[in-house]
Copies of this chain bind each other. A is one copy, B any other.
Amino acid sequence: MQRNRFLPDMLSTLFDRSRVKYKDNDPRDTAQLCYALLSEEGEVSGQKLAEVILDRYRASSDEDKLAFFQFMNEELDIDASKLAELATEYADNPSAEAYASVANESAPKRRQLLRRLNQPSGATSDLVNMRVDLLRLMKDAPELARSDLDFTLLLRSWFNRGFLVLKQIDWDAPASLLDKIVAYEAVHEIDDLDDLRRRLSPPDRRCFAFFHPAMPDEPLIFVEVALTATIPGSVDALLSEDRAPLLAADARAAVFYSISNCQSGLKGISFGNLLIKQVAKELALEFPQLNDFVTLSPIPRMNTWLLDQTSDPVIGHVAAAVLAGEAPPEDVRAMAARYLVEAKRGNGTPVDPVARFHLGNGAEVHAVHANADSSDNGRYQSGGAMVNYLYDLSVVEKNHEDFVLNAKVATSKSIKALVKAPFKTKPEALAS
């Protein structure tokens, strides 16, 4: 039995609004239309102007897109000299008027243009896709990074955490949405819908995604979860075709074994941290018996690092053995632990991007496993080794601060021991 659902349902209208198609017989070029949209004409006819501009944009070539971005970048930039002047005035006399002038002058016209483009139905999605183009074209036109910053600021405001919608994705979800999950999966490839069924349908599997009200049929990010009796050491077992599902009552750990960002146009606007914590909360409500929330994560750059170590006089022979697939599992694990804990970038943070993500969220490096991912990609990047990051909600905040402020890597006792453990592989072994 449920209560009325009038109000939420009402919102569906946002997406019903069939896009009324205007004929584009406007003789003005796109730049002129952009100026019109920014002018008084835009106040009254903004929806129509926005639609024509977006339609033209979608139909245009890369060359024309580049020209459009360069127009935004140069013509619709701030007037920095004037801003400097106004800021100085405000510093001298912090009046409301002076502040308004600063605020106004510091927001470039292109930001206003993007805001006004967001009027037709579906425009938010168009703008996210526009940024996909921008990021691509920016590679050869680095000056466009200024425009990209405005995209980022605007999208960050619109995709504010308070507007995200958490949604469970199961086998009752629309096939059209599931097609997207198959396409967006970035960690452990999914072949097709029948393959996806194995990850969604069993009672000990979960999948959750964030959505935004203005892009209701596009997931922003999703995570796949396995409920297990113990913290698992291999994704092969998790994804095995012929395993028997666990009874819900026996679940003790929730394993986040795959997290995929879906919208490259939202690069730099991070949802993963929030997703993991929100999903952990949901699961804790549904399964109060859960003890551990962990990931089972890849170790993407381990082999690259190992290669660099092969010339190291102390551990070079072990690195080589691991790379050759000839090291005992203990040594694979020890090298994985060292890589995660000790391999750092210039700024002191770990080389491994997945490690940076989870450590940045406040997780700890909990356990490493050899022979955990036998896929081609798994073998290639880490010789099949994987890692569990543990989310202990009572310490994530402290871990996060230690990591951000001091680049401190949180580790379990067993990882600490592993880093210091002597290797089994003997130098001679390779010399021969």
Contacts and interface: CB of A to CB of B under 8 A. Distances in A.
Interface of A: 1-17, 20, 40-41, 43-47, 77-78, 80-81, 83-85, 87-88, 90-91, 94, 96, 99-100, 102-103, 106-107, 115, 118-121, 123-124, 142-143, 145-146, 149-150, 153-154, 157-158, 160-168, 170-179, 192-194, 197, 200-201, 208, 211, 213-214, 216-217, 273-274, 281-282, 361-362, 396-397, 400-401, 404-405
A315 to B, nearest CB: 34
A119 to B, nearest CB: 5
A13 B4 contact: no
B43 A4 contact: no
A107 B78 CA distance: 14
A43 B400 contact: yes
B2 A12 contact: yes
A149 B222 CA distance: 36
A352 to B, nearest CB: 20
Contact of A176 (B143, B171, B362, B397): B171
Nearest to A145: B96
B7 A43 contact: no
Given A99-B146, A161-B118, A361-B44, A13 B166 contact: yes
Given A3-B172, A84-B88, 5 more contacts: A6-B172, A80-B102, A83-B87, A84-B87, A172-B174
A18 to B, nearest CB: 10
Contact of A171 (B100, B106, B175, B211): B175
Contact of A9 (B5, B78, B91): B5
B1 A17 contact: yes
Please give me the 5 A-B residue pairs with the lowest Cβ-Cβ distance, nearest first: A8-B12, A106-B106, A96-B145, A80-B91, A84-B87
A22 to B, nearest CB: 12
B44 A160 contact: no
A25 to B, nearest CB: 15
Nearest to A144: B96
8 contacts: A7-B216, A8-B11, A44-B400, A80-B88, A84-B84, A99-B146, A157-B157, A172-B177
Contact of A193 (B13, B107, B194): B194
A220 B83 CA distance: 35
B91 A102 contact: no
Contact of A40 (B6, B149, B157, B400): B400
A217 B160 CA distance: 20
Contacts of A172: 3-4, 6-7, 174-177
A412 to B, nearest CB: 19
A6 B177 contact: yes
Contacts of A217: 7
B81 A87 contact: yes
A3 B171 CA distance: 10
A7 B13 contact: no
B4 A8 contact: no
A236 B337 CA distance: 58
A147 to B, nearest CB: 9
Nearest to A213: B213
A401 B44 CA distance: 9
Contacts of A99: 145-146, 149
A113 to B, nearest CB: 13
A41 B397 CA distance: 7
B162 A213 contact: no
